[in-house]
Amino acid sequence: MFQIYDENFNPVPLPTDAWGYGLRGLDFEISSTAQEVTEHSIPGLPGSIITGFRDSDREVNLRARLKVENTLDYRVKRDQVYAFFKRLGPFYVAEEQQDYKVLKVCVVESYQFERPENLRTFATVTIPLKIIGQPYWISRYKTTEFPEDLAWDLEIDVDKLTYQHSNKTSFDIFNAGTVPIKTIQEKDNCIITIDIQQAVTSFKLYDATGKYFEYNPSKSSNWALVSGNKIILNGHYMTMNSTAIMERTNRYFLNLLPGDNIFTMEGLTNFTITFDFRFKFD
């Protein structure tokens, strides 16, 4: 069984009528992620050398059944399904057994219902889906709204699910997903907000890789911060009080590895930082 959500993560019912005739989900089929291999040959040496891997795509299908009243109703309901997915455009889909994670997809290939011989009140269909963007599941809930009971179900220590910290030199941000999050790729799905509560010229924020985001590395007095300033890192958009500040930074985009991520703040002591992101899963 599967559940469809629109781009705002609102549930979308499958097309059925008041008598229960229409489309019913049967299964959601998903393959493993394929990998593209980068390899090079060296003159004089047999074979090739593999220098890297990149996750590419995976096959995804919806399997469903169409329940109809008669032959005329079949044609009406069939056309309603065609119109439904065409009108729907990009959407999220989840397995009902794991509805906390979704995959963004759309229907672009043609498909056709199959009607068993001598059985005119049912038809089945396999609908191929195209993944939009990266080939990973993402959590339906952001960190700031993640249900505590779901954390228990996933055997996640609820004490780790703290995504807002104030005035700490170092703090842990737990990534419950299985895929590293590169914030440059995550517009609207990973927003880091830093509320400044002091006057300061510059600061550095180190992530778990040992690299750091730096505000105002040139130490320009024109770019100094004051209490009440708010810096927002949203994908490749960096703003301070709605003003673009990319040129005021070292242009580093923070990373969140699977599991614990110890962040260190340097040069800023009076602040509140919030990480609001969606987990990613293979």
Please identify, in words, the CATH class of the domain defined by 142-281. Answer: mainly beta
Q: What is the pLDDT of residue 251?
A: 96
β-pairing verdict for 91-95 and 101-106: antiparallel
Contacts of 33 (CB under 8 A, 6+ apart): 55, 56, 57, 58, 135, 136, 282
* Chain segment 197-230, per-residue pLDDT in tens: 999 999 999 999 999 999 999 999 999 999 999 9
Please tell me the predicted confidence (pLDDT) of residue 40.
67
DSSP H or E segment with residue 231: strand 230-234
Which tens digit of pLDDT belongs to each residue from 26-63? 999 999 988 777 776 777 777 677 766 677 889 999 99
pLDDT digits (tens, 9 = 90+) for 168-191: 999 999 999 999 999 999 988 999
pLDDT in tens, 65-112: 999 999 999 999 999 999 999 999 999 999 999 999 999 999 999 999
Give residue limits of the domains in the chain. 2-135, 142-281
pLDDT bin (cut points 50, 70, 90) of residue 116 is confident
Does residue 200 contact residue 231 with C-beta atoms inside 8 Å? no
Is domain 2-135 in CATH 2.40.30.200, yes or no?
Answer: yes
